Amino acid sequence: MTFYCHMPHLIILDASHNQLTDFFGFQPPKNLKEVNFSHNQMSVMKDLSAYSSLTKLILDCILLKITKGLEKCKRLSHLSLAHNKISRIRGLDHLSLRTLCLRGNVIQKIENLQTLRNLQVLDLSCNRIQSLSGLQNLHFLGNINLESNLISEVKEAAHLHDLILLREINLLRNPVQDQEDYRLAVIFLLQHLVLLDQHTVTAEEKVSAVNKYDPPLEVIAARDHMTHLMYQLMQPQVIFDSTLPSLDAPYPILVLTGPQACGKRELAHKLCQEFSDYFAYGACHTTRGPYYGEEDGSDYHFVTEEEFQNMIQMGQFVQTMQYGGHWYGLSRETIERVAREGLACCVHMELEGVYSLKNSYFEPRYVLLIPTVVDTYVCFLKARGFYSNAQMETAVSRIDLYAKINRESPGFFDNIIPCDDRAEAYHTLKQLVKEYLGLEEHGGGGDSSSVTPDNTSTSELSQSHFAIH
């Protein structure tokens, strides 16, 4: 091979498929940029510091075990070491590689790649890799081939979550493919993917993945509504006279919504007490056990999981929701019972419940009670004394959810009341309800004795009377 050193203009050298045992046994032509030594018999790598202008080096199928000697090849952007006997990735630190092929080796672990900041294409197919840890800092990676490895867990894809330029990944012939919904789960974890296992990721798949693993509230509500509608239709049909929908005067329901422990339940009870001629509290069903002091039927109807599921299947709920691992649901009968007394129903629920209720034929008024000072809200949560840190964090994080909906969907809530000060919040709510009801105060007092309807007796509370214009 020594004659090559007399070819100063040589740029590309293909010496593949020969029987060379010592590669680069010659003084390098200074312009040499691309070299292919694949299918030879060198097996031991040597110091290539004299080849600093190399940009592409192919050393496939030469029985190589160890990679070293490339430290000075600072211009090397394409390196292929496919089908060798490499068991550990070493000696590639700080190279400016854009493409690295290690296909068909015996690598078990992805390691020592974190300094390859420019890497865009990585081929690790046909190895023995089980975990994708070790790739998380390669922010320019756009294409990874991991076909025929030993990856068995979908959650391994989470290591690639921050690689926002990643568009193609191949996980064909890995045990993970046997997992149910494997493809959707990977698409959900890697939402920038364009090609997965050599098949285009469609927009429909992306939507299905999000709907499955992190469904938007609208989707949760639509599913909830569909479930209850379907189960209700399977039952003998009953006309609910008292809450029958009518165009001009829907049955009046007041929904207080907001994050857990924002005071909505307390305010709902207070309102129903003070305006007992107009409102009654609609107790939802729940599978959670009663807290200290809670009575069955007063705050909630406490039922077992089995009873709750039976109620769902009997089509008894208008809406349901899972919160904190428990089920909550507003039954048709709860609303009917209040309606039969000639009263409006006052309930409290989380946002998902509101979304679901908006799909039904009921047309409640929705009042959002929102904490504006997080510290004060946290104090309320702590004061209850039965929430774990994780539960409190969830509750706090949901404040933003309510605020976002309010910001982005004006009119979604009919009214918004800050609830940092419960007394003030109740005062505002009361004023609002009086406005709703068209009530007047005599003598400026704020108690129940001073509250009277403006033009109708309390026993005759009509639906149109409650309706807000």
Ligand X SMILES: Nc1ncnc2c1ncn2[C@@H]1O[C@H](COP(=O)(O)OP(=O)(O)OP(=O)(O)O)[C@@H](O)[C@H]1O
Site of interaction with ligand X (CB under 6 A): 260-262, 264-265, 284, 288, 321, 323, 328-330, 348-350, 353
The minimum distance between CB 217 and ligand X, in angstroms, equals 11
CB nearest ligand X: which residue? 353
Nearer to ligand X, 154 or 262 (CB): 262
How many whole angstroms separate alpha carbon 436 and alpha carbon 430?
A: 10
| Segments in 234-304 forming alpha helices (H) | 264-274
The minimum distance between CB 345 and ligand X, in angstroms, equals 12
The minimum distance between CB 359 and ligand X, in angstroms, equals 13
Nearer to ligand X, 3 or 386 (CB): 386
The minimum distance between CB 262 and ligand X, in angstroms, equals 6
Q: Are 317 and 330 a contacting pair, CB within 8 Å?
A: yes
Nearer to ligand X, 126 or 221 (CB): 221
Q: Are 310 and 327 a contacting pair, CB within 8 Å?
A: no
- For residue 357, which amino acid is it? L
Rounded to the nearest 10°, the torsion over CA 327, 333, 339, 344 is 0
- For residue 104, which amino acid is it? G
Nearer to ligand X, 323 or 362 (CB): 323
On the 0-12 / 13-18 / 19+ scale of CB atoms within 10 A, 352 is buried
The minimum distance between CB 428 and ligand X, in angstroms, equals 18
How many whole angstroms separate alpha carbon 6 and alpha carbon 26?
A: 10
Nearer to ligand X, 193 or 419 (CB): 419
Nearer to ligand X, 377 or 436 (CB): 377
The minimum distance between CB 437 and ligand X, in angstroms, equals 23
Nearer to ligand X, 416 or 467 (CB): 416
**Residue 415: C-alpha distances to residues 401, 402, 428, 433 (Å):** 16, 12, 10, 11
Nearer to ligand X, 265 or 365 (CB): 265
Nearer to ligand X, 22 or 393 (CB): 393
The minimum distance between CB 321 and ligand X, in angstroms, equals 4
How many whole angstroms separate alpha carbon 60 and alpha carbon 103?
A: 9
Rounded to the nearest 10°, the torsion over CA 257, 364, 316, 353 is -30
How many whole angstroms separate alpha carbon 466 and alpha carbon 469?
A: 9
Nearer to ligand X, 170 or 260 (CB): 260
How many whole angstroms separate alpha carbon 30 and alpha carbon 229?
A: 78
How many whole angstroms separate alpha carbon 49 and alpha carbon 108?
A: 29
The minimum distance between CB 425 and ligand X, in angstroms, equals 13
Q: Assign 256 to helix, strand or coil.
A: strand
Task: Give all strands of the β-sheet with 78-80 in edge-to-edge order.
Answer: 12-14, 34-36, 56-58, 78-80, 99-101, 121-123, 143-145, 168-170, 195-196, 199-200
The minimum distance between CB 391 and ligand X, in angstroms, equals 9
Residue whose C-alpha is closest to residue 209's, from 187, 224, 241, 231:
187
Nearer to ligand X, 109 or 422 (CB): 422
**Token duo for residue 59:** 């050393």
The minimum distance between CB 232 and ligand X, in angstroms, equals 16
How many whole angstroms separate alpha carbon 103 and alpha carbon 328?
A: 53
How many whole angstroms separate alpha carbon 342 and alpha carbon 274?
A: 16
The minimum distance between CB 461 and ligand X, in angstroms, equals 24
**Token duo for residue 290:** 């009663």
